A and B are shown apart, each in its own frame.
Chain A
């Protein structure tokens, strides 16, 4: 199947999943094309099961170890050299504190989604790539539209949540690693912080992020193409507001839900502004 001729990037719901779309969209470049084989599906299913069961315990363990144990100094020569090298070169410091943790966070997040999609019998993963834009991002071309059956909604929910689960899992692992040795603690803690930042950003009900898609599936808003227009219509039109208010308690709740969803969409520019201010402040500070 020539999926490139049938896929229009980002326009078919559920067909393309984009990563860390913080800023303006860019041009997608394919890095790896992947086939969907039975063996890969079985491995993905096992890894997904481990992820779902272990992400909370590993995260809690990481938080406990990092907050209670003082990492020991190993005094190995190679670690001292790495620590001095990282601290004395600005570019290496920026790479160690921002760039490498960002790349790890983004890759982990998308691999979580791809893994969960592949774990489903009818889920397909086609390629991994990079989006070249103002801020580079990674993407996974995954298709979960063919997942049907009585548990399809739960499976799609789990696929949406798997990115955040993977970030929490690796945040726990990095915190455990940070508690082992003081020389490498700075790097591993930066990686853990970046994973948690991805969790915090992706749970928001901002359009394009996982939290928005999850809450729409939970509330049953995932059927129509133009839900945002429907929601705005319900808020702006006096007639629609009247119809909702006449439906009793459920109608009132629907109206409040619409206002909350629209409010969260307004958070997107605040999120972008805060990122710009904090990044700028870090360089000026």
Chain B
């Protein structure tokens, strides 16, 4: 099975991106309005980002699955099984860093994690 062109998945990718962006913005608004989360915004944002970025990450990973079918047989299955969680983790890590940096710029004064 040969990988398809990225344009084939473009619509789903854009939908996933828009949904995730809206959810992230809503999470920022929610955290800003809750007084009991004051000075702990980064931690709450970290957890919220894990869930709000699911649409985008899921569409990207499912776009790339057909590309990974270039490898056939047992080797191909091992690569796919190990690559997809790693790919998902890479995307989550990058998004957490970007959202966390934006959160830190908006709310610079935070309590330490072990306080």
Task: Identify the A interface with B (CB < 8 A).
Answer: 153-154, 157, 161, 200, 203-205, 211, 214-215, 218-221, 223-224, 227, 230, 248-250, 253-254, 256-257, 260, 264, 267, 270-271, 273-274, 277-278, 281
Contacts and interface: CB of A to CB of B under 8 A. Distances in A.
Interface of B: 36-37, 40, 42-44, 46-47, 50, 71, 75, 78-79, 82-83, 85-86, 89-90, 93-94, 96-97, 100-101, 103-105, 108, 110-114
B114 A211 contact: no
B113 A219 contact: yes
Nearest to B90: A200
B53 to A, nearest CB: 13
Given A248-B36, A281-B71, A274 B100 contact: no
Given A153-B104, A218-B104, 12 more contacts: A154-B108, A200-B90, A211-B93, A215-B93, A218-B101, A221-B112, A248-B36, A253-B43, A267-B85, A274-B82, A274-B86, A277-B79
A260 B100 contact: no
Contact of A254 (B50, B101, B113): B113
A230 B103 CA distance: 24
Contacts of A157: 101, 104
Q: Chain B interface secondary structure, helix, strand, loop or mixed?
A: helix
16 contacts: A215-B46, A215-B100, A218-B42, A218-B104, A220-B112, A221-B112, A223-B112, A227-B113, A250-B36, A250-B44, A253-B40, A257-B43, A260-B46, A277-B79, A278-B79, A281-B75
Contacts of A204: 89-90, 93
A161 B79 CA distance: 29
A221 B113 CA distance: 5
Q: 9 closest pairs, A vs B, by CB?
A: A218-B100, A220-B112, A203-B93, A250-B40, A221-B113, A220-B113, A203-B94, A253-B47, A200-B90
A257 B46 CA distance: 7
B45 to A, nearest CB: 9
A142 to B, nearest CB: 20
Query: Counting chain A CB atoms within 10 Å of each CB, which of B43, B47, B105 scores highest?
Result: B43
Contacts of B75: 277, 281
A274 B68 CA distance: 14
A221 B114 contact: yes
B10 to A, nearest CB: 12
Given A214-B97, A248-B36, A270-B82, A223 B89 contact: no
Given A154-B104, A218-B100, A254-B113, A277 B43 contact: no
Query: Counting chain A CB atoms within 10 Å of each CB, which of B71, B83, B93, B112 scores highest?
Result: B93
Contacts of A253: 40, 43-44, 46-47
B86 A270 contact: yes
Nearest to A223: B112
Contacts of B44: 249-250, 253
Nearest to B100: A218
Contacts of A274: 79, 82-83, 86
A267 B89 contact: yes
Contact of A271 (B79, B86, B100, B108): B86
A254 B37 CA distance: 12
Contact of B97 (A203, A250, A271): A203
A203 B90 contact: yes
